[in-house]
Structure 1
Amino acid sequence: MEANLLVYDVGSTYTKLTAFRLADGVLTYTARAQAPTTIEDIEIGVQAARGSLAQQGVTVAAAPAIYSTSSAAGGLRMIALGYMPRVTAKAAKEVAMSAGARVLEIVNHEDPPEYRLQVLREIKPDIVLLAGGTDGGDRDSLIENARIIVQSGSKAVIIIAGNKDAQGEAADILARGGVASIRVPNVMPTIHELKVKPAREAIHEQFIKQITQAKGLHKLLDVISDQKVMPTPGAVLLGAELLAKGTYTREGVGDMLVIDIGGATTDIHSVLPELDKLTIEEKGLVVTNEKQPSYRTVEGNLGLRISATGIVEAVGPQGVLAKIGKQGEELQEQLLAYTAFLEKNPEHISRTETEREFDLALAAAAIEVALKRHAGYISQEFNPVMGIVPGTPLGRDLRRVRNVIAVGGIFTHRSAADKLFVLKQAFANPGISLLPTEPRFIVDENYLLYAVGVLGQKYSDACLAFARRQFGLD
């Protein structure tokens, strides 16, 4: 079969390639290939993945459309600076997270200037998202933070996304200090409104500039149809949004939860389209997590390889073993030794039955912790000041979410029974968390959701129809 659409995902360990055919408005999955990522020259891994397609009997059209995502650069190191901790500073963090960046710190006007200066100097971010003040609101924090950035000697690119009335002066301060900056519309123009897209696109552009420094990747950019390399987590979120919300001409499937577990992190994405319809009064005084249509959390200490010990630290060795119905000090010691080994040898593939069981237990534990950190919960205490009584739902309510898509290596290479086991164990003990009560598990066995997110930017209707068919959502 001939493919005329190719989508790469250049990861830190493997370069994946998904091939499609688009004809008469219908998108068809053709094949998937992968090869080890060659950091010394990324093009070698890219070409090896493409060569693997030929071995599967897939031919590629003479002039295919080519797109790509990447996580090879490890994500942008980012700091978010804002004004009020529960308003613009929080909005800045959500924008950064939705773009696939690693938000290492978030500071606001309540933090002393000397602390903000220390954070900038110690973290040395690649990018700073400078928010603060609604349009026509506070000006001082944006200007003060611009001066602090200059004082820090930062080499980061500053995305100015705060009060439009103060952006010009902040940009002038940065320019005089030799700091590069980009101005985008305010991430929170009013206290009720969160505008993600312009700042997200600016972060994507900086991501592209950063990863082109990797050897060989500029050669890939030369053949990519849109000259863009999207952060992989951002592509997964865009795929979930397309499925959940639909397009102008095709209806989406509604509420969606995506679990993306890898070697270093466990990402949870939730898209609740009905929240787009909330009135200003229903949103309340502050845009919060539970009222954002799209929301992503990243657990950087919960991964099946590089961050394996973080899972054990989060729930304890007994808690991990309980996922597979095992216990005992000897097994706990084996688990601790195994996770320590994985962190030093992230490319390791489990060989023994014990190692395979450990992987299942670690995956179930990581997903459970990540889900509970992402979702809201049922209050257990009185809070007369906030008007909260026991039994009050607080935070992001996922109880009515039906469709749950699982993404990640463990869901690609394991048996159907193992995949279902991991997911059922992760959801088995919701406790007070507002998790889906009747989840329908959908496994992205061919790792297609990222490609749906990328291609959906250009072929939205065809991608939506394809994803609905692929995941059994018609």
Structure 2
Amino acid sequence: MQANIIVYDVGSTYTKLTAFWLAEGVLDFIARAQALTTIDDIEIGVLAANQALALKGVEVCRDAAAFSTSSAAGGLRMVALGYMPRVTAKAAKEVAMSAGARVLEIVSCEDLPEFRLQVLREIKPDIVLLAGGTDGGDQDSMLENARIIVKSKSNAVIIIAGNYAAQGEVAEILTSGGVANIRVPNVMPTIHELKVKPAREAIHEQFIKQITLAKGLNKLLNVVSDKKVTPTPGAVLLGAELLAKGTFAQEGIGDILVIDIGGATTDIHSVMPGLEKLTIEEKGLVINNEKQPSYRTVEGNLGLRISATGIVETIGPVGVLTKIGYKGEELEQQLIDYAVFLEKNPGHISQSPLEKNFDLALAICAIEVALKRHAGYISQEFNPVMGIIPGIPIGRDLRRVKYVFAVGGLFTHCTQEEKQFVIKQAFKNPGISLLPIDPVFIFDEQYLLYSIGVLGQKYSDVSLQFAKKHFKIEKEV
């Protein structure tokens, strides 16, 4: 077997390698392989993945195109400074989504200047998102925060993403203070609109510059054809967007939800193209809805290996065991011990039926919690200030979503019965959450969605055609 396209994914636990053959406008999947990620020297894990692929009888052409994603670096450390706390939090969350950044602190004009200064000095962020004011609105907060950044002697790169009228003066303050900065369009030009793509792309550029050099991923830059390493969650979202929205030549499949459960986090992506057509009145205020077409949430304490104890702490050992019909103090302690062991040994593969069942229970709980935090809900109380009454939907309404994609190592290695059990149990008790009512579950058994996202940036039509065929989706439903 030959491959002329390969896509790496350097994860926190495993380095994956997926091989394709592209000829005459048709993309075919050849094989995938993996090896343990070697954080101290990424190249060792990459070479091991190459060897594993060769053992499967795959020959990579000398002129093969290579691409890569990574989540092993953990992301850039980001602080957001803005005007109003809820607006700043909303903008920071959306900008960081899939861009390779972790929001560690959000501060606003309601926080004392001394506190803002302390945050910058203690966290020492890689990136500062400097927002504040709609276009034509407040300027003072962004100017004040620029002076605080200079006073902090921060080494961060400042993404100036607030009121466009104030950006020039803000840039002058930062530049004269020796602080690197990049200007992008306002992330919230009006109270009804988020424009996060330019800021997200600026952060991604910093991800490539800073993380790849700091974590040894720079060696991958010498291998990949496009000279960049895409954050893995971003690649998964790109794949979801390609499937949902389609291309100029092909229709997409409509609203989709992606569950991506890994060793460190559980990510939920939803793409709802129809929301792009909403009027300003239908969108409402940005701060109290989730009506942007693409949306992602990350549960950093819910993972099947590095964050296993986070699941047990969130649900409680009794709650976790209930998912698989187990109970008893002895089993509770065994579950706790197993979760602690997994955090110390993230490469561990379950060895006994008990460990296997523990893994399934942990997965069910992680997915259920992540889904309910991502989705909106039916209001249960009055809030006259926000115009909320009981019975109305609040937040992200996923009830009409048709396709649910399940991604991650769990769904690659489990039996068909186990996959169905996990996903159905996670959706079993929606309560007041606005989860899909009657979805079609699709399991990404070969872990290809991230590859589709990366390849879709260069080969959009053939990647979409391949995805529809691979996942057996022939037409929009």
TM-score by length of 1: 0.97
- Report how far residue 26 of structure 1 moved: 1.1
In structure 1, the residue corresponding to 2:286 is in which secondary structure? coil
CA distance in 2, matches of 1:58, 1:307: 34
- Report how far residue 89 of structure 1 moved: 4.1
Partners of 2:73 and 2:215 within 8 A in 1? no
CA distance in 1, matches of 2:432, 2:397: 11
Written as runs of structure 1 = structure 2, the 5 A alignment for 1:27-426 is: 27-214=27-214, 216-286=216-286, 288-426=288-426
Query: Does 1:439 pair with 2:439?
Result: yes
Partners of 2:254 and 2:273 within 8 A in 1? yes
TM-score by length of 2: 0.96
CA distance in 2, matches of 1:465, 1:213: 35
CA distance in 1, matches of 2:144, 2:53: 54
- Report how far residue 382 of structure 1 moved: 2.3
- Report how far residue 287 of structure 1 moved: 5.5
Give the direction of change, closer, same or farther, for the CA distance of 1:237–1:318 in structure 2 (3 Å limit): same
- Amino acid corresponding to residue 371 of structure 2 in structure 1: L
CA distance in 1, matches of 2:289, 2:261: 21
Q: 1:27-70 CA distances to partner (integer Å, 9 max, x unpaired)?
A: 11111011222233222221221222221111112211111111
In structure 2, the residue corresponding to 1:80 is in which secondary structure? strand
CA distance in 1, matches of 2:250, 2:433: 33
- Report how far residue 289 of structure 1 moved: 4.2
CA distance in 1, matches of 2:301, 2:114: 28
In structure 1, the residue corresponding to 2:8 is in which secondary structure? strand
Q: 1:389-413 CA distances to partner (integer Å, 9 max, x unpaired)?
A: 2211111111111111111111111
- Amino acid corresponding to residue 116 of structure 2 in structure 1: R
Structure 2 portions without partners, runs of 5+: none
- Report how far residue 81 of structure 1 moved: 1.7
- Amino acid corresponding to residue 85 of structure 1 in structure 2: P
In structure 1, the residue corresponding to 2:117 is in which secondary structure? helix
Number of aligned residues: 474
CA distance in 2, matches of 1:345, 1:281: 51
Partners of 1:272 and 1:293 within 8 A in 2? yes
Q: 1:141-177 CA distances to partner (integer Å, 9 max, x unpaired)?
A: 1111111112222221111111121112111221222
Q: 1:106-137 CA distances to partner (integer Å, 9 max, x unpaired)?
A: 22222222222222222221111111112222
CA distance in 2, matches of 1:351, 1:290: 42
Percent of pairs with identical residues: 77
- Report how far residue 214 of structure 1 moved: 4.4
- Amino acid corresponding to residue 142 of structure 1 in structure 2: M
In structure 1, the residue corresponding to 2:331 is in which secondary structure? helix
CA distance in 2, matches of 1:263, 1:68: 19
Partners of 1:92 and 1:130 within 8 A in 2? no
Give the direction of change, closer, same or farther, for the CA distance of 1:13–1:139 in structure 2 (3 Å limit): same
Written as runs of structure 1 = structure 2, the 5 A alignment for 1:7-26 is: 7-26=7-26
Cα RMSD for the two superposed structures: 1.5
CA distance in 2, matches of 1:289, 1:365: 26
Give the direction of change, closer, same or farther, for the CA distance of 1:2–1:202 in structure 2 (3 Å limit): same
CA distance in 1, matches of 2:287, 2:276: 12
CA distance in 1, matches of 2:402, 2:420: 16
Moved more, 366-375 or 283-292: 283-292
CA distance in 2, matches of 1:313, 1:157: 36
Give the direction of change, closer, same or farther, for the CA distance of 1:100–1:402 in structure 2 (3 Å limit): farther
- Amino acid corresponding to residue 12 of structure 2 in structure 1: S
CA distance in 1, matches of 2:50, 2:345: 27
- Amino acid corresponding to residue 195 of structure 2 in structure 1: K
CA distance in 1, matches of 2:433, 2:111: 31
